A and B are shown apart, each in its own frame.
Chain A
Amino acid sequence: MKRQSSLVSESVLIEKLTQRDQQAFQWLYDQYSPALYGVVLRIVRDDEQAADLLQDIFVKIWKNLDAYDASKGRLFTWMLNIARNTAIDSLRSRKTQPFAAIRTDEDNVHIVDRQHNTEQPNPDHIGVKEVVSQLRPERKQLIDLVYFGGYTHEEAAEELNLPLGTVKTRVRAALQELKQLFKS
């Protein structure tokens, strides 16, 4: 699997970013905005809202750079968490049956996926997509519910009519399967 940045270049990037360097930020945006936008879009399922949220997210990243602790995890993971939390919070504050679309309208999910995935294909990520498609459907469903839906394990268990233990086991199995898939 081709990683986007090695550790060395990431530490250089972070140093530049904390110096509030414009070039570093542009590089950061070009490098990570498709992934962050994809996640946000996946959560809120609305182009306009996702665009607004992406602005908020990058401003947040910029403002909170000093709070980033490289010893606790990679920069990309940190940014992903900001993006994910911001999008899920926004979804929850809207209160218009936030997860209804994700939960029930499976066709719609596929339409959205197809729409966004095919409109602007990113050659770098094709390999990743193929890998993910090999993931067992019931595992993928659970990952999406928790990761993109912001479901707790308890909520996911209720939603899928599964015992809590099964949900926990399945989340672990799903990630371990993905780990193996990405490795190969």
Chain B
Amino acid sequence: MNVTEYIASGILESYVMGAVSDQERREVECLSSIYPDIRRELDQLSEVLEDYALSHSVEPPASLRSKILSQIEFKEPEKPETIVRPLPVDVPATTGLAFRMSWVVAASMGLLLLLFSFFLLSQLRSNQRTLASIRTSNDRMQAEIRQLREKKNQTDQLLAVVRQPGTRTLKLQGNEKAPNGNMLIFWNSNTQQVAVQVQSMPPLPADKQYQLWSMVDGKPVDAGVFDGSTSSDQIQRLNRQVGRADAFAITIEKRGGSPTPTLSTLLAMAPVNA
């Protein structure tokens, strides 16, 4: 707000001359209460008009003085309490109204507050619902990710085995003792490593394991043990070196394996096609 410009605009002159709109009048009164410079200019201009009015002074008729004095009610100089007396009459009326008004205001504030809390509560509830459903779907996705990761590990292991040059894949079908038996053997004669992938084999009691045998010159050689009840597609590397094999065979043995195969539990056998 540029006070100097405002003063120079002429609005203060118009104000003291009574030639402003109500809005301008309020504006001048407001600004003059804020800016001392405007207040000062306004006072000076008022004094100018006071002097101007004084310059037009005319003594009124002498009879007018008593006439006017007779129309005006004066208070006799009295004790303060009698002056105060009319006040209590006025006060209850105004406070009564003010009291009622404040109740109305308080009640509507309370109502507003109540409505607002309902609004907040419903917001909170819908947020909680959304959060719960997001949490569920998040759990589901994490489970899926876990599964996928497992699957990927298995695939990686499988690929690592299969990729090595010289790895041969043999498919073993179960005989009449395990009609649904079905598994793969990966064997690399260069690295002498052997691994199995159980696709479906009969479940075994806890104290039993499957044992793989490599047939070398008609004699079975221990090629390691593996579990049958692991999740399908898992590759199990066997910790025996197999340099030569004419065929592979599977028997059920006690946990840890046996030095010689129990022929009665022979489940599958497949020749290695050289």
Contacts and interface: CB of A to CB of B under 8 A. Distances in A.
Contacts of A98: none
User: Which of B16, B33, B42 has the most chain A CB atoms closer than 10 A to its own CB?
Assistant: B16
Interface string A68-98: 0001111011001100110000000000000
B114 interface: no
A38 B49 contact: no
B4 to A, nearest CB: 14
B18 A77 contact: no
A51 B57 CA distance: 14
A178 B68 contact: no
B145 interface: no
B74 A25 contact: yes
A37 B59 contact: yes
Contacts of A39: 53, 56
Interface in B184-241: none
A183 to B, nearest CB: 9
The interface residues of chain B, by DSSP majority, are classed as: helix
A65 to B, nearest CB: 11
Question: How big is the B interface, by class?
Answer: 35 or more
Interface residues of A, number: 64
A117 B55 CA distance: 9
A120 B77 contact: no
Contacts of B56: 35, 38-39, 41-42
User: Which of B44, B46, B52, B74 has the most chain A CB atoms closer than 10 A to its own CB?
Assistant: B52
B1 interface: no
B107 to A, nearest CB: 33
A147 B42 contact: no
Given A54-B68, A147-B17, A172-B10, A21 B77 contact: yes
Interface string B60-88: 11001101110111110100000100000
Interface of B: 10, 13-14, 16-19, 29, 32-33, 42-61, 64-65, 67-69, 71-75, 77, 83
Interface of A: 1, 3-4, 19-22, 25-26, 29-30, 33-39, 41-42, 47, 50-51, 54-55, 58-59, 62, 71-74, 76-77, 80-81, 84-85, 116-117, 120, 122, 124-125, 128-129, 131-132, 143, 146-147, 150-153, 168-169, 171-172, 175-176, 178-179, 182
Given A81-B18, A120-B58, A129-B55, 5 more contacts: A19-B83, A22-B69, A22-B74, A34-B58, A73-B42
